[in-house]
Amino acid sequence: MYNPKISVLYLSRFSRLLVALVVVASLMSSMTISYAAYSGPEVSNISMMPIDRAKFLVGQKFDFEIEVKNDTPASAIEVMVNGLAAEVFFGKQAVIKFDKMSTYRINEVAFPQAGKVAVAVTVKSEKGIEKRTINYEVSGEKIKKPAKNVILIIGDGMSLQARQMARILSKGITEGKYNDLLEMDKMSNLALITTSGNDSLVTDSANSASAYATGQKGAVNAMGVYADSTKDPFDDPKVENIIELAKRTRGMATGIVSTANITDATPAAMLAHTRKRSEQNFIAQEMLNPLHRPDVILGGGSRHFLPKSVPGSKRTDDRNLVEEFKKLGYPIATTKTELKQSGTPDKLLGLFQLDNMDVYIDREVTKNPAVLGKFTDQPTLMDMTKTAIDVLSKNKNGFFLMVEGACIDKQLHTMDWQRATYDTIEMDKAVGIAKEFAKKNDDTLVIVVADHAHGASITGTYHELDGKTGREGVRTYADAGWPTFVDADGDGFPDDPNPSVTLAVQFANHPDYYENYKFQEVPTSPAIMADGKAIANPKRAPQGGDLKVGNTPTSDPSEVHSADDVPLTAEGPGADYFKGVMDNTEVFHGIVRALGLDGRKNEK
Amino acid sequence: MVRLTRSISRAIFLAMMLAWLPLSWTGQDGTIPYDGSSLFFTRAQAAPAWLPWLGEQATHLEFNEFYSGASALGLELSAKLESLKGKKVQISGFMAPPLKPTLSFFVLTKVPMSICPFCSTDADWPNDIVLIKLSKPVTALPFDRPITVTGDLEVGYQMDEETGFISLVRIVADSVEEAN
């Protein structure tokens, strides 16, 4: 008997099943599609340096190297560049070695024309034939009226959040509106920069600065090179960097300024080539190499310039680099007073600390003798930036200057956001000096960027006015209100880094440590090593604090970098290049495009 | 009379040292297994109670007494440090995380080290450190507890062949003890 009710029910069941099947099928198909969209290239035994999708400036020099890992040594490596044998294309003989790690290398080559390049490799061995094809891009892009100068200002570890802390402390915020913006906020162009390195998601300062200096991805601890598999930190295939290009192709003046050791990762990456950033003695002596000798060198870290016989030196030889620079006509400054007295020579070496320079709070605010020791006359980053610009701008061919706010990173590693923030403000004031110079002639591109981020965010405020302490003293949402930093003298730095209501800054990635949310009189490490493990440093919160259980491996006693994208702001000729989301290697291409550099030219 | 007392005490000292010789070698085959704070009780490293009567008095030294002047062009050794060269000194500080679980030297620092300078290639040492040389390999200590080292002071550049470690101030230790 026909029963309409049942039939409807069956129908609805059938249709429900059908819909469910369609949904499942569409989900599965979308999954397959999305997997396919980011399936990486097959792991090949053939590793190519420069890597696939590398982008070069036309004429930019580099070493071309192929490594082939095989159980049975290769018997032949054939390399074709745009259909021509590589040796014919580059006009140079390759050095080929056959072993379990076979290598094919041609040093100091360049692409003479802009456009696409395809490199095809065929490796023959007893096992058979293996092939790999990769692609390069060569750019000859330049703006119509090139910039005369570029000032690249790098806030080491200066994440968006670090900029925001500086904005709050320096400018203040009323009813949700900032009273003013930072100098680096008030620039015409903004881009978001991705920071990952060639070998890892989270970058370090060497390879990220190297990306800015060469336009190439780098490996952790490497600068100006692709990291090959040999142990020697000086034999890796090199890529020409911005200081070399600026000098070679246009006879520009160049300078590096940093509050860290001047041989530390960021300034070093502008000129040096090594797999190992810790080779700071090598990097210091490389600063004498005419290929990439900066005209202005200002920062800390004289210990890598002094002969081993001098107490405080870290050199392992008797070279006195300070004397060698003197012989080349560099006046030497070791204090703020000497820097001021140096005037505007053609070149200048200023080293103001044996190690990293002290941070702004210790140098200029608390001036604690227990922290500073005998180093009571160190210049500010503003002093150094101003002097560097004055000296470099004498060159008629223009200049490239890199200024680093180095201790933003160093202080975030020790989870000292107050010290990091004062140094961010200090760097912002250096940005102001650069902008002021740029405004005069409208021929200078100023770029402000971080090299990587730290996982530190403002989650509200902290105070103990009602007796609550520790995590109960952290105020969120409406309870947070506003911090009470005061800048009565109007110098842009809060008078007291420890006001009654301060920011609640929380870290995403940290070792075990004690947190009391207060300013520390002297810089103190969050954790110390004990029995091979990082444990909370009891000296960190002498008045008591909550133990925060770490969330990173106990082998690391400091806060670590995060993979966050970082903001870049720019102003001046060529600034239009910087917009949207960009790879960190594009910072280099934005610089050479603005300067109109052509790697095929030879000034000298 | 004085000479006699001295030779008697020397004889007693020698006898005791000889009696202890086999003890200090028990259970040792070059290295000591990693095991807590055994250094404090390793006999060869503990100060014999009679040392103050027999040996010279150790001069107390502080980390901030090392250098009288410092600039970017180098450090200046203090008069006190210079005058104590080759003499017996005593200093308290923290043991820095060493390269290996057992070692024949370690670095004494003013504050507990937050980094393992030997583990990380990028690590930087502060300037005011002392290299402590030991007469035999010892087990690493917990690095967060203050220790007092007594021994002969050496001053001047030296590079350790094995590790490449450069030192300026060293103490050849007689004793390493937990500080009070």
| A177-188 pLDDT tens trace | 999 999 999 999
CA A257 to chain centre: 14
Residue in this structure with the two tokens 């203050």, named with its chain if needed = B146
Answer whether A343 touches B (CB < 8 Å). Answer: no
Q: Which residues of A touch B77 (CB under 8 A)?
A: 311
CA atoms within 13 A of residue A557's CA, in its CB half-sphere: 27
pLDDT digits (tens, 9 = 90+) for B120-130: 444 567 778 89
Residues paired with A124 in a beta bridge: A76, A129
Residues of B in contact with A314 (CB under 8 A): 166
Report which of residues B28 and A602 the model is more confident about: A602
Contact (CB<8Å) A530/B144 = yes
Provide the 3-class DSSP secondary structure of residue A58.
Answer: coil
Residue located via tokens 């209100």: A481
- Mutate: best of A375, A522, A531, partner B, most B CBs <10 A: A531
pLDDT (tens digit per residue) in A581-603: 999 999 999 999 999 999 999 97
pLDDT at position A497 over 80:
yes
Mean pLDDT to the nearest integer, B10-32? 45
A322 inside 8 A of chain B by CB: yes
**Which chain A residues are within 8 Å of B114, Cβ to Cβ?**
414, 525-529, 534, 537, 557-558
User: How far apart are the C-alpha atoms of A306 and A313, rounded to whole Å?
Assistant: 5
B116–A529 CB contact, under 8 Å = yes
**B-chain residue closest to A314, CA distance:** B166
CA distances from B25 to A239, A241, A497, B21, B28 (A): 57, 59, 57, 7, 5
Find the closest chain A residue to B161 by CA distance: A316
pLDDT at A219: 96
Would you give the distance in Å from CA A597 to the centre of its chain?
22
Q: Which of B75, B159, B168 sits opposite A316 (nearest CB)?
A: B159
Q: Mean of the pLDDT values across residues B95-112? A: 77
Q: Is the pLDDT assigned to residue A333 strictly greater than 90?
A: yes
Q: ipTM of this model?
A: 0.82
Q: How far, in Å, are A171, B60, B67 from residue B89 at the CA level?
A: 53, 6, 16
**Per-residue pLDDT averaged across B63-90, rounded?**
93
pLDDT in the model for residue A111: 98
Question: Which of A17-31, A109-123, A339-353 is the least confident region?
Answer: A17-31
User: What is the Cα–Cα distance from A275 to A517, expressed in whole angstroms?
Assistant: 39
- Asked whether the beta carbons of residue B122 and residue A313 sit closer than 8 angstroms, the reply is no
- Give dist(CA B70, CA A498) in Å, integer: 31
Q: How many CB atoms lie within 10 A of CB A209?
A: 32
Facing B127 at nearest CB: one of A312, A334, A525: A312
| pLDDT of res. A10 | 53
Distance CA A272, CA A191 (A): 27
Q: Which chain B positions have a beta carbon within 8 Å of A384's beta carbon? A: none
Contacts with B97 from chain A: Cβ below 8 Å = 529, 532
Is the bond preceding residue B33 a cis peptide, omega within 30 degrees?
no
Give the pairing type, strands A546-548 and A173-174.
unpaired
pLDDT of residue B32: 34
Catalytic residue flag (residue A15): no
Burial of A57 (0-12, 13-18, 19+ CB in 10 A): buried
Residue B23 pLDDT > 70: no
Q: Which residue of A has its CA nearest to B112?
A: A528
Q: By C-alpha distance, which of A516, A507, A506 is closest to A541?
A: A516
Q: In 3-state terms, what secondary structure has residue A162?
A: helix
- Between A558 and B49, name the one with better pLDDT: A558
Is A302 close to B73, i.e. CB distance below 8 A?
yes
| DSSP 8-class letter at A362 | I
Taking contacts as CB-CB distances below 8 angstroms, the residues of chain A near B124 are 355-356
CB contact under 8 A, B67 and A308: no
pLDDT of residue A85: 97
User: What is the per-residue pLDDT for B22?
Assistant: 41
Q: How far is B90 from chain A (nearest CA, A)?
A: 22
pLDDT at B164 over 80: no
Q: What is the pLDDT of residue A361?
A: 97
Supply the pLDDT for residue B139: 67
How much is the average pLDDT of A17-24?
A: 68
Residue from A434, A334, A333, A348 nearest A389 by CA: A434
A-to-B residue pairs, Cβ atoms closer than 8 angstroms: 97
- Higher per-residue confidence, B62 vs B25: B62
Does residue A581 contact residue A156 with C-beta atoms inside 8 Å? no
**Whole-number Å distance between alpha carbons of A108 and A90:** 9
Residue numbers in B near A334 (CB within 8 A):
71-73
Residue from A383, A416, A362, A479 nearest A165 by CA: A416
A314 at B interface, C-beta within 8 A? yes
Of A125, A159, A196, A205, the active-site residue reads A205
DSSP β-ladder status, A55-57 and A566-571: unpaired
Say what percent of chain A tops pLDDT 90. Answer: 85
A276/B121 CB distance under 8 A = yes
Q: Is the pLDDT of residue A33 over 60?
A: no
Helix residue ranges per DSSP H, A490-583: none
**Nearest CB to A351 within list B72, B115, B143:** B72
- Tell me which chain A residue has its CA closest to the CA of residue B69: A374
- The answer to whether residue A224 neighbours chain B at the CB level (below 8 Å) is no
Task: Give the pTM.
Answer: 0.88
CA neighbor of B167 nearest in space, from B120, B119, B121, B117: B117
Say yes or no for a CB contact (<8 Å) between B74 and A375: no
Q: Across the interface, do B143 and A529 touch by the CB < 8 Å criterion?
A: yes
Integer angstrom CA distances of residue A145 from A253, A392, A506, A515, B59? 19, 21, 46, 53, 71
Quick one: residue A160, left, alpha or beta (phi over 0 = left, psi -120 to 50 = alpha)?
alpha
Strands, sheet with A74-81, edge to edge from the N-terminal-most edge strand:
A55-57, A128-139, A115-125, A74-81, A84-85
The whole-number pLDDT of residue A543 equals 77
Q: Which amino acid is at A468?
A: K
- Report the range of poorest mean pLDDT among A379-383, A555-559, B50-54: B50-54
Distance (Å) of CA B34 to CA B91, B95, B104? 25, 15, 14
Long-range CB pairs of A94-103 (<8 Å, 24+ gap) are: A98/A73, A98/A74, A99/A73, A100/A69, A100/A70, A100/A71, A100/A73, A101/A67, A101/A68, A101/A69, A101/A70, A101/A229, A102/A67, A102/A68, A102/A70, A102/A73, A102/A74, A102/A77, A103/A65, A103/A66, A103/A67, A103/A68, A103/A228
The pLDDT of residue B124 is: 65
Is residue A226 predicted with pLDDT exceeding 90? yes
**Contact call for B112 and A528, based on CB within 8 A:** yes
* E strand or H helix that includes residue B158: strand B147-159
Q: Give the pLDDT band (50/70/90) at residue A429.
A: very high
Asked if B113's CB is within 8 angstroms of A528's CB, the reply is: yes
A582: distance to nearest CA of chain B, Å? 29
Contacts of A206 in chain B (CB under 8 A): none
Residue A601: per-residue pLDDT: 95
Chain B residues with beta carbon closer than 8 angstroms to that of A309: 157
Pick from A113-127, A323-337, A512-526, B47-61: least confident: B47-61
Q: What is the mean pLDDT of residues A272-284?
A: 96
Closest CB to A528 among B74, B114, B140: B114
Residues B144, A313: C-beta atoms closer than 8 Å? no
Mean pLDDT of chain A: 93
Residue B117 has pLDDT above 60, yes or no: no
> Both tokens of residue A214?
């060469």
pLDDT at position A346 is 97
Assess contact for A582 and A449: CB atoms under 8 A: no
Phi, psi of A166 (to 5 degrees): -65, -40
Task: Please answer yes or no on whether A529 and B97 come within 8 Å at the CB atom.
Answer: yes
Q: Which residue of A has its CA nearest to B123?
A: A278
Distance CA B9, CA A345 (A): 71
Mean pLDDT computed over B166-172: 89
Q: Does position B116 have pLDDT exceeding 70, yes or no?
A: no
What six digits make up the tokens of A496?
């007291």
Contact A371/B at CB under 8 A: no
- Pick among B103, B114, B115, B169 to test the A interface (most A CBs inside 10 A): B114
Give Cβ neighbours of residue A233 (< 8 Å, ≥ 6 apart). Answer: A274, A275, A276, A279
Give the nearest partner residue to A353 out of B72, B97, B115, using CB atoms. Answer: B72
Option in B114, B121, B140 nearest A527 (CB): B114
B-chain residue closest to A538, CA distance: B144
Q: How far is B126 from chain A (nearest CA, A)?
A: 8
- Measured between beta carbons, the chain A residues lying within 8 angstroms of B115 are 529, 557-558
Give tens-digit pLDDT for A447-475.
999 999 999 999 999 999 999 999 999 99
Question: Within 10 A of A79 (CB to CB), how many other CB atoms are there?
Answer: 22
Among B72, B124, B164, the residue with its CB nearest the CB of A302 is: B72
pLDDT mean over B139-160? 83
